[in-house]
Amino acid sequence: MNPLLLRRSIDDSVFTFIDVETTGLSPQTSRICEVALIGFQGVCRVSHFSSLVNPGLPIPPETTKIHGITDEMVKNSPAFPALVPRLVALLEGTVVVAHNAEFDLSFVQMEFARAGLKLPELPVIDTLHIARHLGGFSNNRLGTIAKELDISIENWHRALSDVEMTRKIFEHFMVIFKKDGALTVADVLHRIPKFKYQRS
């Protein structure tokens, strides 16, 4: 991992918020059917990407009930390997932020592996871990935290809506960390439990 990313100030860093919707819960047997990323440097949006993904297998009806994505919606969408070059370009040199990052990144890692590639090694900030660390929410689900912070939860469980919610929740947490003296990405990481995602 590039140590310069860790030493960079919070306001100068590019944070890439990522979310995926999937056909199930296991990255070994399920696949990504939607991916969204947005990148911010300070208050400026520097990148934006969202795409349905053809998972190459049927989406179970019980999963469709959660995110609303059907086989019909994804049948003409690109397979994940076609998106990898764009995703790498958007992620490289940034700090990755996700809510329950272990879930999302385990799926992304597996999709990269199926394409014969490795997910770039980047700093990861998990807003779920921050929420658990700070406490104060009735539960730590993304939609619950957003609702309790007066952030819109419209289209919750669709990737693009979820990354927008994650970004706004992250901004709320950064105000708290900055008041506590955090200046750099490393300062933020030191204030929350270590991210447990293990690269293979």
> What does 142-153 look like in DSSP terms, one character per residue?
HHHHHHHTT---
Q: What is the pLDDT of residue 20?
A: 98
DSSP 63-132: HHHHH---HHHHTTSPPHHHHHHHHHHHHTTSEEEETTHHHHHHHHHHHHHHTT-------EEEHHHHHH
First CA to last CA across the chain, in angstroms? 15
- Structural domains for the chain: 3-190 (3.30.420.10)
**pLDDT of 117-151, one tens digit each?**
999 999 999 999 999 988 889 999 999 999 999 99
Task: Kindly tell me if the per-residue pLDDT of 103 is higher than 50.
Answer: yes
Task: Kindly tell me if the per-residue pLDDT of 66 is higher than 60.
Answer: yes
**pLDDT of 150-186, one tens digit each?**
999 988 889 999 999 999 999 999 999 999 999 999 9
117/111 Cα distance (integer angstroms): 9
Between the alpha carbon of residue 108 and those of residues 32, 41, 56, 140, 148, the distances in Å are 8, 23, 15, 22, 29
**pLDDT of 143-155, one tens digit each?**
999 999 999 998 8
